[in-house]
Amino acid sequence: MVGSGRSIGVAPWRVVACVGVAVLVGGLLAGCSTGSPVASGGRLRVVAAENFWGSIASQLAGDRADVTSIISNPSTDPHDYEPTAQDARTIASSALVIMNGAGYDAWVQKLVDANPDPGRLVLDVGDLVGVPTGGNPHQWYSPASVEQFVRATTARYQRLDPRNRAYYARQRRWYESTGLHTYRDLIASIRAQYAGTPIGASESIVAPLASALGLQLETPGSFLDAVAEGNDPTAADKATVDAQVADHEIEVFVYNAQNATPDVKRLLDAARRAHVPVSTVTETLTPAGATFQAWQSRQLRQLQRALARAKAAT
């Protein structure tokens, strides 16, 4: 569960729920019923492993597809998710499967392979943006990767449903011009005002966004990766991040509220004692029913306020 920490010594986005997946794969290979990739009314059936990509996919689809997100509960840790038999059936009956890739949700590919369909398309975001297994999988925090995803998803809808090609093009134009308008404006505003500001972070989920905003992420990469992977940071890295907070070498501390390990909690407490402004991010949509852009915009506003407080105090 999120917030309880992750298994030590095992990279969470490389964890595969071996028992659950093996059982499901065996059942699918035995010939379970898959259903039609087209829902009632001629709409495409689409499944996204995680709701951050599912939200975008749903908005791009409009009323021409039924999009299901498998991981949608904020209290579910995507790194350690174990798929259910219903997940297997949902994937088997979909025309388009969207997975994060980069080793983050390897169980999806196993379920796809268990029931091959030459007409089904699979969009692996890691492959799309060039992030291999072992790289930073949190590409929904990269505005550039989000843009690539929007284009690629639209293209796959048009391939699967060519009669509605113009409709999907209009949906993309609307989403880029209107849906993402506030999100893009906040990114541009923060970059213009605060580029170069030194910040600290609890884990690597923050790295793609910090880069896009022009913020200087001072936390050692080895510390960020260790926390994200469920490993114990080295004593040297702990000493470094402690000193960065105590000596105000960072102006804001950003942490993933869904992965509050003991080391993260200790840093969070230290930042508050040192009056270093704190901003939070989460792994998945919070609340669960939020759109991608509303969720991200809320977090960006919080970060913007933290940066403003930091600057006002200097």
Q: What are the tokens at 162?
A: 């060519």
User: Cα separation of 237 and 88, whole Å?
Assistant: 41
Residues 19 and 141 in one domain: yes
| Distance set, CA 20 to CA 30, 44, 159, 281 (Å) | 16, 28, 33, 30
User: Cα separation of 42 and 281, whole Å?
Assistant: 38
Strands 216-217, 121-124: pairing kind: unpaired
- pLDDT in the model for residue 38: 60
Please compute Rg for the chain using Cα positions: 20
- pLDDT in the model for residue 80: 80
- pLDDT in the model for residue 24: 47
- pLDDT in the model for residue 13: 40
Please give the single-letter amino acid code of residue 281.
V
Residues 119 and 219 in one domain: no
Contact between residue 150 and residue 176 where contact means Cβ atoms under 8 Å apart: yes
Residues 164 and 203 in one domain: no
Instruction: List 217's β-bridge partners, or say none.
Output: 199
Cα of first residue to Cα of last residue in the chain, in angstroms, is 39
Domain contains 189:
no
Contact between residue 178 and residue 171 where contact means Cβ atoms under 8 Å apart: no
Domain contains 2:
no
Query: Which pLDDT tens digits describe the chain residue by residue (314 residues)?
Result: 333 334 323 333 433 333 344 444 444 444 444 555 665 578 999 999 999 999 999 999 999 999 999 999 888 878 789 999 999 999 999 999 999 999 999 999 999 999 999 999 999 999 999 999 999 999 999 999 999 999 999 999 999 999 999 999 999 999 999 999 999 999 999 999 999 999 999 999 999 999 999 999 999 999 999 998 889 999 999 999 999 999 999 999 999 999 888 999 999 999 999 999 999 999 999 998 999 999 999 999 999 999 999 999 98
User: Cα separation of 148 and 57, whole Å?
Assistant: 12
Cα within 13 Å of Cα(309), Cβ side: 14
Q: What are the tokens at 96?
A: 């388009």
The 10 Å Cβ neighbour count of residue 39 is: 16
Q: Note down the domain range covering 83.
A: 12-179
Residues 166 and 81 in one domain: yes
User: Cα separation of 182 and 168, whole Å?
Assistant: 22
Q: What are the tokens at 56?
A: 């975008």
CATH number at 270 reads: 3.40.50.1980
| Domain C-terminal end among 124, 144, 179 | 179
Domain contains 1:
no
| Domain C-terminal end among 150, 179, 208 | 179
Q: Which residues, in sequence order, are CB contacts of 297 under 8 Å at separation 6+?
A: 182, 183, 186
Residues 66 and 16 in one domain: yes
Number of domains forming the structure of the chain: 2
| Distance set, CA 12 to CA 5, 6, 79, 104, 125 (Å) | 10, 7, 5, 8, 18
Residues 256 and 174 in one domain: no
- pLDDT in the model for residue 36: 57
CA proximity to 78, closest of 278, 235, 286: 286
Residues 103 and 219 in one domain: no
